[in-house]
Amino acid sequence: MADRKNEDVPLDHAHGTTAGPTADLGANTAIGKKLKAYYDDFASEPVPDRFLSLLDALDAAESAKRTERS
């Protein structure tokens, strides 16, 4: 039989999570906040010119294909 950690902790069967204040979400919350801060900083950085040039070239190629089909 498989061991179940915290067997005495009631489960919220609708969501598959532990119910009540015994659920330790402090670590998950802290990690989530740090990840959000990191990715917010990352997302606010400017896109390199090389990538913008590649995106423009892809848009032009896509437009050319649409024009050929018409």
Within-domain flag for 35? yes
More confident residue, 42 or 7: 42
Residue-number span of the structural domain to which 34 is assigned: 11-69
- Look at strands 17-18 and 11-12 and give their pairing: antiparallel
d(CA 17, CA 28): 13
Within-domain flag for 54? yes
Q: What is the pLDDT of residues 15-70, one digit of tens each?
A: 555 555 545 678 889 999 999 999 998 889 999 999 999 999 999 999 999 888 87
Q: Are 6 and 18 in contact (CB under 8 A)?
A: yes
Q: Are 51 and 45 in contact (CB under 8 A)?
A: no
More confident residue, 13 or 30: 30
Total tally of structural domains belonging to the chain: 1
d(CA 7, CA 28): 21
Of 44, 22, 23, 26, whose CA–CA distance to 34 is shortest? 26
- Please tell me the pTM assigned to this model: 0.42
